[in-house]
Amino acid sequence: MIKLGVNIDHVATLRQARREDFPSPLKAASVCEKAGADSITAHLREDRRHIQDKDIFDLKESLRTRLNFEMAACDEIVQIAVKVQPHSVCVVPEKRQEVTTEGGLDVASQKKSLSETVKKLKDAGIVVSMFVDPEIKQIEACADIKADAIEIHTGKYARLFKTNFQELNEELEKIKQAAVFASQHNLIFNAGHGLDYQNVSQICEIKNLNELNIGFSIMAKALFDGMENAVKEMKDILSKY
Ligand code: PXP
């Protein structure tokens, strides 16, 4: 069955909007786990706009499932990851001005430095995933630098789902080919970004899909239906595949 990782950054975004000590991302993670989440994702950004260092250490202590630590490949954050020892990390590109992670990491043009990052993290016993666009060149580079997994950026797919059916099918085809290529190179295949209750089904049909990381749509639904229901509803969709 396809696993569901729930991204709880959005709870920290709400807390930081008032610099309060609530709502608690830890409590959110616990509710998500009880509702069936298979893992919890949190992104410690360099600008600390939502998740804070303490959140990451506390999550590692309290989670009953797995912590997937999203991070930029910079020395400061790599050192924190090695200390925290999450089950996995997902290496993402990071720009200060962006609202959210806008595109995949350009692994192909940074193979030397990223292979050192991957080695440090793997030596610490952490499963290493790279967040990339569905491009064969990028996935090949992930295999070359000995990453364990890739997470395909589905943001473009999600945008086209609302706007352009023709281009949507082309993007979906690229994601399918990425999945085949990843499995030929023994890379675990995950996906995420912009996925919601409507657009997730076509992604679920892709063979070899291991885990989806979903945040915004689940938290938006949680506002009205409660977090437990929001997670359960997404799990129900995934369980059909
Ligand atoms: N995966 C990665 C690597 C991300 O950066 C994000 C956004 O933080 C997600 C998944 C979840 O995206 P969304 O919040 O749009 O579901």
Domain count, the chain: 1
The closest of 209, 211, 144, 138 to 180, measured between CA atoms, is 209
Active site residue 70: yes
Cα angle 202, 152, 238; round to 5:
40
Q: Please state the atom number of ligand 1 nearest to the C-alpha of residue 10.
A: 14
Site residues for ligand 1, CB cut-off 6 Å: 7, 9, 43, 70, 90, 92, 100-101, 131, 151, 192-195, 213-217
Range of the domain at 169: 3-238
Write down the catalytic residue from 10, 43, 50, 153: 43
Q: Tens digit of pLDDT for each residue in 43-101?
A: 999 999 999 999 999 999 999 999 999 999 999 999 999 999 999 999 999 876 777 76
Active site residue 10: no
Average pLDDT over residues 169-178: 97
Q: Tens digit of pLDDT for each residue in 80-96?
A: 999 999 999 999 998 76
Ramachandran area for residue 67 (φ above 0: left; ψ -120 to 50: alpha; else beta): beta
Average pLDDT over residues 158-163: 96
Using the Cα atoms of residue 106, residue 111, residue 112 and residue 118 in order, give the sign of their dihedral. positive
Read off the CATH number of the domain in which 28 is found: 3.20.20.70
Take residue 217 and report the two structure tokens written for it. 């749509």
- Contact between 90 and 114 under an 8 Å Cβ cutoff? The reply is no
For the whole model, what pTM was predicted? Answer: 0.96
DSSP states of 116-162: HHHHHHHHTT-EEEEEE-S-HHHHHHHHHTT-SEEEEE-HHHHHHHH
- Contact between 127 and 149 under an 8 Å Cβ cutoff? The reply is yes
189 forms beta bridges with 150, 209
Phi/psi at 211 (5° precision): -150, 145
